Amino acid sequence: MKIVADDKIPFLKGVFENVCEIEYLPGAQISNDILKDADALITRTRTKCNEESLKGTSVKMIASATIGYDHIDTQWCEANGIKWTNSPGCNAESVKQYIASVFGMLVIEKGWILKGKKLAVVGVGNVGGRIVKLAEALGMIVFKVDPPRERKEDQEKFYRLNDIIGEMDIITFHTPLNREGEDKTYHLCDSLLLSKMKDTALVINSSRGEVVDGEALKKALAEEQIGAAVLDVWENEPAIDKELMNLVWLVTPHIAGYSLDGKANGTMMSVQAISKEFNLGLDNWEPNDIPLPKNDKLTIDCKYLNTEQVVANAFNQTYTIKEDDIRLRMRTDEFEKQRGNYPIRREFKAFSIDLQNTSDKPVKMLESVGFVNVKKIN
């Protein structure tokens, strides 16, 4: 048996070598010729899995170590007997950390008070659900927007985006990319939607670049129709619009889900799926020895900080979104390189935090957003 795998998938090397042949290649180099004699493909979003790359090959299964799967032509694969799997929820906690860092920057850099702010979470799946809990723990007023779930569920309260958009302080997108149909999300955030927003509103997109109409957003920002935007994903990646980038408050190169924890989860889910399909004996494999961050033990002096400022400091000491922003602005042409060589980033659970000169309130709030080792050291 032979597997072809993207060489940027972490923790994978050494896993299959004793049970089958495996070849590692950059995602963009995985082509029809390469896959001719492959039984399985382990991939990320940069490898298009469609008729062009798969027709005439011996591929029987594709495992994507990512939450998204719009790089897979699922209809063609299913019609041609090729099984496929993605890794739902693998990086959900990582994206939550990314959004938390944005919230932290709103407090630290823009002086916002988050409590009472109105937030629309568009797409309430594995990722969006975590954003809802994060925002509610911070005292924000959350409006959930998810038409597919709304049609299926009676218990949950959902809203229509057009009905609430004019009231929102923040709109964050966590949808798949659907180019057509009832739940079309292509250019969901278009000129009409932007025109209905408050002139102080913040738009965040960490889902898929095409969910936001880049030209419309550029115009809205240039004309100050809205307050600001944060973009992790872009139309035409990696050839991003530099004019748009220069108007956006925080910019990153499609790395919201790039914590090592999230990557490890995606690899684990892919390995286990391939193992079960081909009976390789790795059904319970998990990566170990995930590197710790340089500073996994944090101390925050809370003497002159309110609770939101304490939490914002914790968010931004565990992941500093501004560093990714600066790196992309300085080397915009290295979009793919920055993704491929992304520095170690660990999620909240990897850190311990000591709080000096504080009450119990910041401790409880940090625990409610996902930190597991927080204590007062007064």
Distances (CA, A) of 160 to 122, 152, 157, 189, 288: 10, 15, 10, 13, 43
Residue that the structure tokens 């935090």 belong to: 353
- The DSSP element (H or E) to which 228 belongs, if any, is strand 228-231
pLDDT of residue 288: 85
The domain segmentation of the chain, as residue ranges, is 2-86, 92-251, 297-376
Helix%, strand%, coil% for the chain, nearest 5:
40, 15, 45
Is residue 237 among the annotated active site residues?
yes
pTM value is 0.90
Is residue 208 among the annotated active site residues?
yes
Q: Annotated catalytic residue: which of 187, 254, 327, 346?
A: 254
In eight-state DSSP terms, residue 293 is P
Q: Where are the alpha helices (DSSP H) in the chain?
A: 32-35, 51-54, 74-79, 92-108, 126-137, 147-152, 161-164, 191-195, 214-222, 242-247, 260-278, 307-318, 321-330, 335-340, 360-368
pLDDT of residue 15: 97
Give the architecture (CATH level 2) of 2-86. Answer: 3-Layer(aba) Sandwich (3.40)
Is residue 254 among the annotated active site residues?
yes
Position 155 pLDDT exceeds 80? no
Local confidence band at 10 (pLDDT 50, 70, 90 cut-offs) = very high
- pLDDT over 90 percentage in the chain: 93
Per-residue pLDDT tens over the stretch 49-62: 999 999 999 999 99
In eight-state DSSP terms, residue 90 is T
Position 34 pLDDT exceeds 90? yes
Local confidence band at 365 (pLDDT 50, 70, 90 cut-offs) = very high
CATH 1.20.1050.10 fits 297-376, yes or no: no
Check for a shared fold between 2-86 and 297-376.
no
What is the chain's mean pLDDT, rounded? 96
- Quick one: fold of 92-251? Rossmann fold (3.40.50)
Q: Annotated catalytic residue: which of 208, 327, 345, 346?
A: 208
Local confidence band at 43 (pLDDT 50, 70, 90 cut-offs) = very high
Structure tokens at 119: 């937030």
